[in-house]
């Protein structure tokens, strides 16, 4: 008997899941594991979030179904945040949608806007739910390689004309996971213009927009002229507020796009826990102060990681955003087996570039999830494995 669908058979392996399983075994064996794998830093959630959640949990009304309408104060806080932070005004009721983490919206979006056979642009290397959502919705994944010599930018104009004609949805993510690349304004202008011209919905995945350094400020796609016609933007409290496990984020788009996503989600989930929406609202109202502290932490870790990598002979520039280091490997070292050895022999979890799609080969991703000295120790162990593999970097 066939148990799983053909669509499931088309899905790639989900790397973070596999690392978690091996890590559990190593810890059970008493190993000193340094986990630089998943983008899940050791930060405490903001006190304001914890206090608001505790108070909300005592309110009986918070134990009801949220449904997709959610909690108006959260929608309103998200709208206020968009205006303060980006100068973008949105209607909290029709243009904001609470999500169970931004992953929820990203993975369900293809069901809302694509029909079987429609093309969906997937950056590679890239965040796996883009591919997951597209494949499960029966769409055609259109892989766009992110190349170092092109600034890791998705160039829609490079697609063959007949492929581009089929594209109805494009995922873009800057500041980028895993490459840590940022998008120049001119790039965003021409990409929005292309999407408008071609009738392509632009899914702008922006969970790292608050984690920026050295004076760089990441924009909202809605700062770009014409983006309101084509874009849906995804935001998250996960990374910038140390709240990954809380599962809370939001989408912003024109009412018709939000309504399409609501239509899908109403058959699948009943919205994030209301008490968490209440806590997220309280958090967003203090976003600037909280985020400043989080950026300081990640900057320190970035600098420690870059210094350790350079000491070990790797060539890497400090990224201006995200919580990741995208580290080039020597050309004769395949990333998958290297990451596997690093975990099994030296107990350091990183993600192989190839686990983000074949286009990620030649790199590994280090997540800045622990303090600087631990990251440096992880890099020392990494250099040891590398010299065992090929006699030095
Ligand atoms: N988008 C990107 C590029 C990510 O790296 C992640 C998490 O790793 C997410 C979205 C999802 O974040 P969450 O669902 O926790 O909001």
Give 124-141 as a DSSP string: ES--HHHHHHHHHTT-EE
Q: Write down which residue in 270, 285, 300 finishes a domain.
A: 285
What pLDDT shows up at residue 392?
Answer: 45
Of the candidates 378, 296, 316, the one whose C-alpha atom is nearest the C-alpha of residue 342 is 378
**Is any ligand 1 atom within 6 A of the Cβ of residue 250?**
no
> Please, how many CA atoms are within 13 Å of residue 154, restricted to the half-sphere of its CB?
28
> What local confidence, expressed as pLDDT, does residue 348 receive?
97
Q: How far is it, in rounded angstroms, from Cα 165 to Cα 171?
A: 16
Is the same domain home to 300 and 264?
no
If asked whether residues 120 and 239 sit together in one domain, one would say yes
In-domain check, residue 50: no
Tokens linked to 141: 């994944």
Residue 249 Cβ contacting ligand 1 at under 6 Å? yes
Determine the residue of 36, 236, 245 to mutate for testing ligand 1's pocket, defined as the one with the most ligand atoms within 8 A of the Cβ atom: 236
Ligand 1 atom having least distance to the Cα of 127: 3
Please work out whether the CB of residue 205 comes within 6 Å of at least one atom of ligand 1: yes
**CA 239 to ligand 1 center in whole angstroms:** 8
Can you tell me the mean pLDDT for 324-328?
97
pLDDT higher than 80, residue 361: yes
- 279 and 293 co-located in one domain: no
Closest CA to 123 of 319, 335, 360, 316: 360
- Residue 168, φ and ψ in degrees, nearest 5: -115, -15
348 in the same domain as 224: no
Sign of torsion over alpha carbons 44, 182, 193, 116: negative
Name the pLDDT band for 393 (thresholds 50, 70, 90).
Answer: very low
Distance CA 119, CA 195 (A): 13
- Say which CATH number the domain at 210 has: 3.40.640.10
The answer to whether the CB of 277 is under 6 A from ligand 1 is no
Mutate to test the pocket of ligand 1, among 15, 41, 103, 210 (most ligand atoms within 8 A of CB): 103
- d(Cα 39, Cα 288) in Å, to the nearest integer? 21
- Going from the Cα of 103 to the center of ligand 1, the distance in angstroms, rounded, reads 6
Which atom of ligand 1 lies nearest, measured to the CA of 38? 8
Q: Is 369 in the pocket of ligand 1 (CB under 6 A)?
A: no
Confidence category of residue 66, pLDDT binned at 50, 70, 90 = very high
pLDDT of amino acid 12: 87
Segment 298-316 shows an average pLDDT of 96
Q: What percent of the chain has pLDDT over 90?
A: 93
Res. 77: pLDDT tops 60: yes
Predicted TM-score of the model (pTM) = 0.96
Let me know the angle formed at the C-alpha of 366 by 323 and 202, rounded to the nearest 5 degrees: 55
Give the pLDDT confidence of 113-130 residue by residue, as tens digits.
999 999 999 999 999 999
d(CA 128, ligand 1 centre) in Å: 10
Q: Mean pLDDT over all residues of the chain?
A: 96
> Tell me: the pLDDT tens digits for 166-201?
999 999 999 999 999 999 999 999 999 999 999 999
Angle between helices 15-28 and 335-346 (to 10 degrees): 20
Tell me, in angstroms, the distance from the centre of ligand 1 to residue 320's CA. Answer: 18
Q: Which residue has the tokens 């014409």?
A: 226
Residues 210, 165 share a domain: yes
- 103 Cβ inside 6 Å of ligand 1: yes
The residue whose C-alpha atom lies closest to atom 9 belonging to ligand 1 is 103
Rounded CA separation 248/233 (Å): 14
Q: Is the pLDDT of residue 308 over 80?
A: yes
CB within 8 A of 2, min separation 6: which ones? none
Tell me, using a 6 A CB cutoff, whether residue 212 lines ligand 1. no
Report residue 288's pLDDT band, with 50, 70 and 90 as the boundaries: very high
**23 and 101 together in one domain:** no
41, part of any domain:
no
200 in the same domain as 324:
no
123 lines ligand 1 (CB under 6 A): no
Q: What is the reported pLDDT for 391?
A: 53
Grade residue 19 by pLDDT with cuts at 50, 70 and 90: confident
Q: Last residue of some domain: 285, 319, 350? A: 285
177 lines ligand 1 (CB under 6 A): yes
Question: Into how many domains does the chain fold?
Answer: 2
205 with 315, same domain: the answer is no
Tokens read off for 180? 């840590």
CATH number of the domain residue 330 falls in: 3.90.1150.10
Backbone angles phi and psi of 131, in degrees to 5: -65, -45
Which domain range does residue 66 map to?
61-285
The CA 338 to ligand 1 mean position distance, Å, reads 25
289 in Cβ contact with 241 (< 8 Å): no
CB of 56 closer than 8 Å to CB of 40: no
Query: What is the residue with the minimal CA distance to atom 11 of ligand 1?
Result: 103
What is the edge-to-edge ordering of all strands in the sheet holding 167-172? Answer: 96-99, 249-253, 231-236, 201-205, 167-172, 119-124, 140-145
The percent of residues in the chain predicted with pLDDT above 70, rounded, is 99
Q: Are residues 237 and 293 in the same domain?
A: no
Dihedral Cα 81, 82, 86, 88, nearest 10 deg:
-140
Report the distance separating Cα 92 and Cα 79, nearest Å: 6
385 shares a domain with 268: no
> What count of other Cβ atoms lies within 10 Å of the Cβ of residue 45?
18
Contact assessment for residue 43 and residue 164, using Cβ atoms and an 8 Å cutoff: no
CB 101 less than 6 A from any atom of ligand 1: yes
CA 216 – ligand 1 centroid, Å: 21
Read off φ and ψ for residue 6, nearest 5 degrees.
-60, -35
Among 244, 264, 285, the domain-final residue is 285
Looking at residue 276, its pLDDT comes to: 98
pLDDT score for 156: 96
The Cα 295–Cα 323 span in angstroms is 9
- From ligand 1's centre to the CA of 237, what distance in Å? 10
Find the 380 Cα to ligand 1 centroid distance in Å: 28
């Amino acid at each position: 008997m066939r148990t799983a669908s053909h669509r499931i058979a088309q899905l790639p392996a989900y790397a973070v899941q596999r690392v978690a399983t091996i890590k559990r075994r190593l810890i059970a064996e008493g190993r000193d594991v340094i986990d630089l794998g998943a983008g899940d830093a050791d930060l405490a959630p903001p006190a304001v979030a914890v206090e608001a959640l505790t108070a909300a949990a005592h309110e009986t009304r918070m134990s009801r179904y949220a449904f997709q309408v959610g909690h108006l104060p959260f929608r309103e806080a998200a709208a206020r945040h968009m205006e303060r932070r980006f100068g973008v005004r949105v209607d909290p009721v029709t243009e904001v949608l609470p999500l169970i983490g931004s992953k929820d919206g990203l993975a369900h979006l293809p069901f809302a806007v694509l029909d079987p056979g429609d093309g969906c642009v997937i950056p590679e290397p890239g965040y796996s739910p883009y591919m997951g959502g597209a494949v499960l919705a029966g769409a055609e994944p259109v892989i766009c390689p992110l190349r170092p010599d092109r600034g890791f930018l998705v160039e829609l104009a490079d697609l063959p004309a007949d492929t581009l004609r089929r594209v109805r949805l494009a995922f873009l993510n800057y500041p980028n996971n895993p490459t840590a690349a940022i998008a120049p304004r001119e790039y965003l202008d021409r990409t929005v213009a292309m999407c408008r011209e071609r009738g392509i919905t632009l899914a702008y995945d922006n969970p790292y927009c608050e984690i920026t350094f050295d004076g760089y400020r990441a924009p909202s796609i809605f700062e770009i002229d014409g983006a309101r016609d084509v874009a849906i933007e995804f935001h998250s409290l996960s990374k910038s507020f140390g709240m990954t496990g809380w599962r809370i984020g939001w989408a912003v788009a024109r009412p018709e796009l939000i309504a399409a996503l609501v239509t899908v989600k109403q058959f699948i989930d009943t919205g994030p826990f209301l008490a968490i929406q209440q806590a997220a609202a309280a958090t967003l109202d203090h976003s600037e102060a909280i985020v400043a502290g989080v950026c300081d932490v990640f900057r320190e870790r970035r600098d420690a990681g870059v210094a350790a990598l350079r000491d070990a002979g790797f060539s890497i520039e400090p990224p201006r955003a995200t919580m990741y280091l995208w580290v080039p490997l020597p050309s004769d070292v395949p990333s998958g087996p290297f990451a596997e050895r690093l975990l099994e022999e030296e107990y350091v979890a990183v993600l192989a570039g190839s686990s983000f799609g074949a286009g990620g080969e030649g790199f590994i991703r280090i997540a800045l999830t622990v303090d600087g000295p631990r990251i440096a120790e992880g890099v020392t162990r990494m250099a040891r494995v590398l010299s065992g593999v090929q006699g030095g970097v």
